[in-house]
Structure 1
Amino acid sequence: MRRTSAVNPDFGGLAADSKEATNYETTMAIGTAFKLYRKGVMWSLLMSTAIIMEGYDTILLGNFYGLPAFSAKFGNEYDATATPPGPTVGAPWRAGLSNGAQIGEILGLMATGIIQDRYGYKKTIGGAMTAIVGLLFILFFAQDLPMLLVGEILCGLCWGVFQTITTAYASEVTPVVLRPYLTTYVNLCWVIGQLIASGVLRGMLSEGSSQWGWRIPYALQWIWPVPIIIGCILAPESPWWLVRHGRYVDAKRALLRLTDPSADPNFNPDQTIAMMEHTNEIEKEISSGTSYFDCFKGTDLRRTEIVCITWLVQTLCGSTFMGYSTVFYEQAGLKASYAFDMSIGQFGLGVLGTISSWFAMTWFGRRTLYLYGSSFLCVLLLIIGCLGTRQDEAAADWAIGSMLLIFTFVYDFTVGPVCYSLVAELSSTRLKAKTIVLSRNLYNIGGIIVNVITNYQLTPTAWDWRAYSGFFWAGTCFLCVIWVFFRLPEPKNRTYGELDLLFEAKIPARKFKSTKVDIVSQNLTQSVLNAELMEA
């Protein structure tokens, strides 16, 4: 029999206060939550804006290959099938450039888990944002492909920081009812960055083969750092991080900076801090360490597996088509101007899909959207592959373009945004940053493999699969559907403490939604038994 807390509820009423705060958070109306935490929402939105930079650059590089100015400067092979024929960046260098950024992100991610745990969220984001101001000069003044590769690797170090910190911070500065919105906003920032990049590249077509056609898009990335750095200086630290470091007075002060207590007289900051402390003690009892190795011990092993594969699904479900959309449209036979117009419309639908997902998660939950979303994506990929077999190429080209538009909307309505909510909620609070780092690194490793395959699939001088690639990714997406069905639990309306007990009880993924937990139970084993017996 193990205690759920190192602090006995009879001394100080920690568990009782935790229960009150838990009930308050899980029953809070969304409107009340926005009013109470409106300052926390604004700080979260500002921090997450850093992701726009990464979304912008990710789509920038993939679509540069369809930009005449970029091909004229960096092309190292001759494409006789292009209209008109001309230089192009070969598949090996395309894969190298894309994977260079991924390698930098992997290194940056691993460092982030350690730096964030020691210095906090705001200092880590601010430091990375300051560094990237200087590193962007390498991309702007690139003279050849090797220099461009170095710039991508070094900038990737900073992008790796943004990938995890923003999601973790968003999940810790708002209550349960707001977490799905603020964590999925990270995906919206990705799509906004992609939309801006597509619009900028469309405008650069008028530059022809001028060097400014590719330099200006890189230069525009200097817009973001200054306001975000100022925000990092002024923003409050996560109260959860402060509690984990035993700084309870500072945690309460930070919580008050994130909230407006006058918005709801029922809000009690002391009880909220008690809930954080109680959850922290539960996790210390379950897993005392906070190192990367602890992510693979006990119940945290299952949580790490779920979070890691959840993020890997994003890259295995065929989303690679979106990152290379302009090239794919051109390979399908569309003119460059039409290809970029389609990309702009594609990511505009992505914005609409992400916003729509906020309402869908309220009704259906995360697991349902992830399962049905990945299933629908699998069907769309099969359709794209089948369209590649049609003899009427002109009609098939536009049909494939239409399928990619639908694919983008479905992805950004389900798998894209919901992933961020899941990885933030299903990891324990003490190991959150490190678990997200590991999951994002698995995503990046998968992305390296996917980038190599995709570049060879879509490059005319390599495999030249074109739309037939849809069959390949439909297969990987189907495997993702199977995993989601059997392994992904539903965290909707669960506090971190409740999720801790559900995982400790080894409740099957498909029963998470219907199982009830008494968070106040002094005895963890008894709490587990209650969880199993109170199944609805």
Structure 2
Amino acid sequence: MGKDTFTLAGREWPKVTWWKMKGMRFVYLTLWAALITSATNGYDGSLMNGLQALDDWKASYNYPQGATLGLLAASLAIGSMLAIPVVPYVADSLGRRFGVVVGCVIMLGGVAMTSIGYQVALFVVGRIIIGFGLGIAQECSPLLVAELVHPQHRAIYSTIYNSLWYIGSLIGALVTLGTNKITGSDWSWRIPCLLQAIPSLCQLVFIWTVPESPRWLISKGRAAQAKKVLAYVHAQGDEDDELVNVEFDEIQQTIALEKQLDRNPWSELWSTRGNRHRCIILISIGFFSQWSGNGLVSYFLTEVLKLIGITDSNEVLTVNSVLNAVNVVSATGICFFVDYFGRRKLFLTSTISMICCSVATTIALARFPEGPNGKDQNAGNAVIAFIFLFYISYNIGFSGLLVSYSSEILPYRIRAKGLTLMFFCVNLSLWFNQYVNPVALQRIGWKYWIVYDCWLCFELFVVWKFYIETKETPLEEIVKYFDGEEAILGGAAATEKVTELVNMQNENPGVSEKGAAIHTELKA
């Protein structure tokens, strides 16, 4: 494929310049209303780090430690897990945009509760409600992005989505760094909690400027509206554009075929060899995204820095802010090279680099108490340096690709449910980490890093064995990598098996009820 072309339906098409196309320009500039869901999640992660460094917050909640601190942090993941049974039905029944709205309304109720009072129970319940709303919004948003943008830009925008976690995290870090100067007042922690409502309020207003997913519209029988959306976003409103018609036919026929062959949507996640391969990726990437050692620093930086003698709240918050700034640059920067390097290479590079950095951090932490007066400052500085390098390594693979890779390997009919499975694994690992990590850090200190050193080696094996390359492949056509000739794919890129089925029906209309149903749907 040339530098100035991309592939769709087995053909090469000229690349487009998004800012020169009216509809595409408008949609891409308003797409932030869907993308900031990830930033909301990142803000919460940094918020918990910041709150643990604020003396007024610790005093208000009776200086929580160990299991209590773990429960306060893990409550968001608990809420997201409770949303699991609801999420796919909201996304598939009400639509991607309305799912974001539902999630935002619920989150606003949770923000009100966490900002009210001093009771641990009230704070936990508020965060559970925030997590429930976030669980709905954080699945609907990437679906809308992946299914709406031009095929040429899918990799960049889908990867940017989860990378914006660090934008929210950076804002949260800077806010708590600023409010730390408000001493002797509850507003030092109430202000950061209240500001968590701003992204949801913005989304409630501006998400309506983003068109609905054309794939969802087609699945609901609103083909004419779907074609208008495709034409508006991809071809400046020209419904006769050849690319738009190829896309429309491929999407429409693929969804029609999927509907006819669909039996039990949930069991289909593991009913075929291709889907079992997908499940291995979805489950592993969900756990790896949180069990790579990043959860220690993302939510418990205060406890980690205590291991190298840093306890001053302003110093902790400064390290948190700088770390998040580096993460913003590294995570968003790699998004523009996803199609250049490829997903598999990025995952492998990320995992190998994390192993090196984690082992180096373990050695430095072990050396720190061996210095003069129990403090080896050089080892302490090395710990901070390798934490930064570890996060850059993590961002190469697991930051942006967590959502984009998971969504693109799934066919439309199980995309929402497959993402639900992935996010369930994310939240399960978060719940475990956030509840167990503070206890483990308190009891065994730096030795806890050895657990992650070993686990990362297991991650490398799974990535090498199961993660396949999907770069520069249209969304509908990725199914061929997993399902081969069993792939359900319509349009010009249809597999031989599907083409044979349709041709057989054309020659003999009475061949089978299933064939007749498929043929009728395709003809429509």
**Same fold, TM exceeding 0.5?**
yes
User: Contact 1:102–1:153 at 8 Å: present in 2 too?
Assistant: yes
Distance 1:20 1:73, change over 3 A: closer
1:127 to 2:102 alignment: yes
User: Contact 2:151–2:474 at 8 Å: present in 1 too?
Assistant: yes
1:383 to 2:357 alignment: no
Partner in structure 1 of residue 133 of structure 2: 158
1:176 to 2:137 alignment: no
Distance 1:350 1:47, change over 3 A: same
Partner in structure 1 of residue 15 of structure 2: 29
How many angstroms apart in 2 are the aligned matches of 1:470 and 1:264?
57
User: Contact 1:345–1:405 at 8 Å: present in 2 too?
Assistant: no
Partner in structure 2 of residue 308 of structure 1: 283
Partner in structure 2 of residue 7 of structure 1: none
Partner in structure 2 of residue 15 of structure 1: none
Give, in angstroms, the shift of residue 302 of structure 1. 2.3
1:342 to 2:328 alignment: no
Distance 1:403 1:53, change over 3 A: same
Distance 1:267 1:94, change over 3 A: farther
1:66 to 2:75 alignment: no
Q: Which runs of 5+ in 1 are unaligned?
A: 1-18, 76-87, 508-516, 528-536
Give, in angstroms, the shift of residue 228 of structure 1. 1.0
How many angstroms apart in 1 are the aligned matches of 2:7 and 2:66?
58
Task: Give the letter aligned to residue 73 of structure 2.
Answer: S
1:426 to 2:380 alignment: no
1:463 to 2:439 alignment: no
Partner in structure 2 of residue 361 of structure 1: 338
How many angstroms apart in 2 are the aligned matches of 1:279 and 1:206?
57
Partner in structure 1 of residue 293 of structure 2: 318
**Where do 1:215-254 residues align within 5 Å?**
215-254=190-229
Task: Give the letter aligned to residue 438 of structure 2.
Answer: N
Partner in structure 1 of residue 395 of structure 2: 412
SS at match of 1:389: helix
Give, in angstroms, the shift of residue 221 of structure 1. 1.6
Give, in angstroms, the shift of residue 477 of structure 1. 1.4
Give, in angstroms, the shift of residue 407 of structure 1. 1.4
How many angstroms apart in 2 are the aligned matches of 1:364 and 1:521?
27
Task: Give the letter aligned to residue 497 of structure 2.
Answer: N
Give, in angstroms, the shift of residue 57 of structure 1. 1.1
Give, in angstroms, the shift of residue 23 of structure 1. 4.5
Partner in structure 1 of residue 473 of structure 2: 494
How many angstroms apart in 1 are the aligned matches of 2:19 and 2:409?
21
How many angstroms apart in 1 are the aligned matches of 2:264 and 2:35?
25
1:295 to 2:269 alignment: yes
Partner in structure 2 of residue 472 of structure 1: 451
Match of 1:39 among 13, 26, 44: 26
Match of 1:198 among 173, 198, 203: 173
Distance 1:307 1:39, change over 3 A: farther
How many angstroms apart in 2 are the aligned matches of 1:198 and 1:28?
43
Distance 1:34 1:426, change over 3 A: farther
Could you tell me the TM-score, scaled by structure 1's length?
Answer: 0.84
Give, in angstroms, the shift of residue 216 of structure 1. 0.7
SS at match of 1:110: coil
1:327 to 2:328 alignment: no
Residue by residue, what CA displacement relative to the aligned partner does 1:144-175 show, whole Å, maximum 9, x if unpaired? Answer: 11111111111110111122111111110013
1:56 to 2:43 alignment: yes
How many angstroms apart in 1 are the aligned matches of 2:283 and 2:197?
32
User: Contact 1:351–1:412 at 8 Å: present in 2 too?
Assistant: no
How many angstroms apart in 2 are the aligned matches of 1:380 and 1:20?
38
Give, in angstroms, the shift of residue 271 of structure 1. 2.5
How many angstroms apart in 1 are the aligned matches of 2:18 and 2:97?
26
1:141 to 2:116 alignment: yes
Task: Give the letter aligned to residue 55 of structure 2.
Answer: P
How many angstroms apart in 2 are the aligned matches of 1:33 and 1:264?
20
How many angstroms apart in 2 are the aligned matches of 1:301 and 1:284?
20
Task: Give the letter aligned to residue 61 of structure 1.
Answer: M
Task: Give the letter aligned to residue 405 of structure 2.
Answer: L
Residue by residue, what CA displacement relative to the aligned partner does 1:331-370 show, whole Å, maximum 9, x if unpaired? Answer: 4212321221111111111111122212331321011101
Residue by residue, what CA displacement relative to the aligned partner does 1:242-273 show, whole Å, maximum 9, x if unpaired? Answer: 11222211211222343442799965423321
SS at match of 2:47: helix
Moved more, 189-198 or 518-527: 518-527
Match of 2:420 among 437, 448, 470: 437
Task: Give the letter aligned to residue 305 of structure 2.
Answer: Y
Distance 1:272 1:140, change over 3 A: same
User: Contact 1:52–1:192 at 8 Å: present in 2 too?
Assistant: yes
Distance 1:313 1:296, change over 3 A: same
Give, in angstroms, the shift of residue 403 of structure 1. 1.1
Q: Percentage identity across aligned positions?
A: 18
Moved more, 355-364 or 326-335: 326-335
Give, in angstroms, the shift of residue 225 of structure 1. 2.3
User: Contact 1:370–1:484 at 8 Å: present in 2 too?
Assistant: yes
Partner in structure 2 of residue 403 of structure 1: 386
Moved more, 410-419 or 397-406: 410-419
Distance 1:336 1:464, change over 3 A: farther
How many angstroms apart in 1 are the aligned matches of 2:306 and 2:393?
22
Distance 1:21 1:188, change over 3 A: closer
Task: Give the letter aligned to residue 332 of structure 1.
Answer: I
User: Contact 1:99–1:448 at 8 Å: present in 2 too?
Assistant: yes
How many angstroms apart in 1 are the aligned matches of 2:192 and 2:118?
16
Give, in angstroms, the shift of residue 521 of structure 1. 4.3
How many angstroms apart in 1 are the aligned matches of 2:264 and 2:228?
25
SS at match of 2:117: coil
Task: Give the letter aligned to residue 480 of structure 1.
Answer: E
Give, in angstroms, the shift of residue 49 of structure 1. 0.9
How many angstroms apart in 2 are the aligned matches of 1:180 and 1:292?
27
Distance 1:505 1:71, change over 3 A: same
Match of 2:483 among 489, 504, 519: 504
Partner in structure 2 of residue 103 of structure 1: 78
Match of 1:211 among 174, 186, 199: 186
Partner in structure 2 of residue 485 of structure 1: 464
RMSD of the TM alignment (CA)? 2.6
Give, in angstroms, the shift of residue 522 of structure 1. 4.4
Task: Give the letter aligned to residue 439 of structure 1.
Answer: M
Distance 1:34 1:455, change over 3 A: farther
How many angstroms apart in 1 are the aligned matches of 2:328 and 2:249?
38
Residue by residue, what CA displacement relative to the aligned partner does 1:12-61 show, whole Å, maximum 9, x if unpaired? Answer: xxxxxxx995346x644263698473334234322111222221112212
Residue by residue, what CA displacement relative to the aligned partner does 1:193-247 show, whole Å, maximum 9, x if unpaired? Answer: 1101111111122123421111010111222223211223333210011112222
Tell me the number of residue pairs that the alignment of Structure 1 and Structure 2 aligns.
482
Partner in structure 1 of residue 93 of structure 2: 118
SS at match of 1:489: coil
